Structure 1
């Protein structure tokens, strides 16, 4: 990509995913893990299960998705990419590299090398590379320190020189609103923003206005960068006594999720904001497999873990 002035960067998105000249920018976060599978177990879902998932996402009668986000450059993600390629599915991918302060230097470097390989091996499918998920926000359990930013910028430079798609970082608004985010943002092709009204103690009626304000606040702080929304959603269950779930004051139910989903999706579509709703399917491994199924971490999907649709996608409007 050639360097452009700030005005042209602002007016012409760097990341504008399309299939056959049709915009597919309303994406969704996807994990292939079925009940009993998890990253800790190094599970790789079957081709049959992944094909079922992709069929659900691309042919659901209420809402369809042709853009997914995956988080780690690992065999589980490659199995999804292989399935998309083999069956010539109408699905594009933002492929992540899982970077973490709790991993060894070798493990982080392997994620970098693997995401480069995947981006080049699946050029017709991967449309963007995301280097890290919530790795700088203060509350992250796997966060890097501000002193690690030079190391991170070397990773960005390495990947940008080796792939032909836009490179980004996905992090919470409480990183992108900090002064030290500026150097990181300028090194990236665009910004991916996480903004959860539910986790930020917003009632349902204030959820989309809060998200919209947060989005515009971050755009104002990074005026020459496109801002995509990488995660926002509404859980259908929560347990107030379970740690940070005490922050949730909005109703956690399928009815509430549908209200948020429809209003949020309408705002995104009207403003042509590239986004990834969180998330496609409930994942029972999240929050710990020993924890009850009712905790929020296990209930962000618009489909249940058995792949049956929740209210949001039974009757949602396109």
Structure 2
């Protein structure tokens, strides 16, 4: 192992999620929205549906997840937190605040206030706070400007002063490799990195090596920060004519997802890298409800939207 790789693997972590003295760092991204539900509709899933989801994730199919990531400080996320608390479920949460250039200043400030409230009201459940998702990478549809960095740093300072858990930002590797990411990284407790081999035109056989190299490249640029992998996955369907899906060269099917998932998860486990696989369940609202169900955005889950298992979890139970 090179000195550079050694430093990136053994940076002292500040985010080490534990439950009953067991490391639960192999997490998963979770959205509670069922078919015909969406954030645009301001849907709040039922307690019964959320309880079913949490049961599936923590007890089913030979693979369990006790750590989930949620993206917005809103009623939909609070319903999940309430359900976990009410039923004393073995689930911990990285709770996000959804920040966006398409929202008003007031709406962004409300997200900051709400994520502080949720982190403090659900202290036994919320183990980290994430301020923004892909808000600085160039291609983001809700990108903040570089001129917004001082405001962002004020939000980080405000939240860190108000909560007792580590605070971070989740963004793509094509932000974390830029010089202007340095100031933000230093203000955070740790970095959440997004790295999709599939979106970066990698064949299946090179997907995990590419992800590992990207991880180490970012770790070398931020050697005093723990790197958590916040999003990486493999879609089970795609439509090449649909926008950026022309970038996808790897097969998009359940067998390929299984191959990627197993190799990726083993690498994470071997190196004790905290992560959030993308994602738990297919969500049909993603990519636009007017788009066909076959597009990639709707098909990243390890479970279908009707909660039936895909091949990767179906075979893991055997």
Normalised-by-shorter TM-score class: over 0.9
Aligned to 1:190: 190
Aligned to 2:279: 279
1:42 partnered with 2:42: yes
CA contact (8 A) 2:101 2:142 kept: yes
Aligned to 2:26: 26
Give the unaligned 5+ runs of structure 2.
Answer: 1-6
Residue 60 of structure 1: CA displacement? 1.2
Residue 314 of structure 1: CA displacement? 1.1
Residue 226 of structure 1: CA displacement? 0.1
Aligned to 1:116: 116
- Which whole-Å CA distance do the structure 2 matches of 1:113 and 1:155 have between them? 10
Instruction: Tell me the alpha carbon deviations over residues 20-67 of structure 1, each in whole angstroms, 9 at most, x when there is no partner.
Output: 110000000000000000000000000000000000000013200000
Where in structure 2 are the equivalents of 1:236-275 lying within 5 Å? 236-275=236-275
Aligned to 1:223: 223
CA contact (8 A) 1:286 1:298 kept: yes
CA contact (8 A) 1:10 1:223 kept: no
- Which whole-Å CA distance do the structure 2 matches of 1:92 and 1:313 have between them? 21
Deviates more, 1:9-18 or 1:31-40: 9-18
Where in structure 2 are the equivalents of 1:85-100 lying within 5 Å? 85-100=85-100
Aligned to 1:4: none
Give the unaligned 5+ runs of structure 1.
Answer: 1-6
Taking only aligned residues, the RMSD between alpha carbons, in angstroms, comes to 1.4
- Which whole-Å CA distance do the structure 2 matches of 1:173 and 1:78 have between them? 29
CA contact (8 A) 1:262 1:316 kept: no
Residue 316 of structure 1: CA displacement? 3.1
Corresponding residue SS for 1:156: helix
CA contact (8 A) 2:11 2:224 kept: no
Residue 73 of structure 1: CA displacement? 0.0
Residue 10 of structure 1: CA displacement? 5.5
- Which whole-Å CA distance do the structure 1 matches of 2:291 and 2:141 have between them? 18
Runs of 4+ in 1 over 3 A off after TM superposition: none
Residue 201 of structure 1: CA displacement? 0.1
Instruction: Tell me the alpha carbon deviations over residues 276-309 of structure 1, each in whole angstroms, 9 at most, x when there is no partner.
Output: 0000000000001111000000000000000000
CA contact (8 A) 1:131 1:168 kept: yes
Aligned to 1:168: 168
Corresponding residue SS for 1:234: coil
Instruction: Tell me the alpha carbon deviations over residues 190-221 of structure 1, each in whole angstroms, 9 at most, x when there is no partner.
Output: 00000000000000000000000000000000
Figure out how many residues of one structure are paired with residues of the other and give that number: 312
Residue 317 of structure 1: CA displacement? 8.0
Instruction: Tell me the alpha carbon deviations over residues 60-108 of structure 1, each in whole angstroms, 9 at most, x when there is no partner.
Output: 1320000000000000000000000000000000000000001000000
Taking structure 1 as the reference length, the TM-score comes to: 0.97
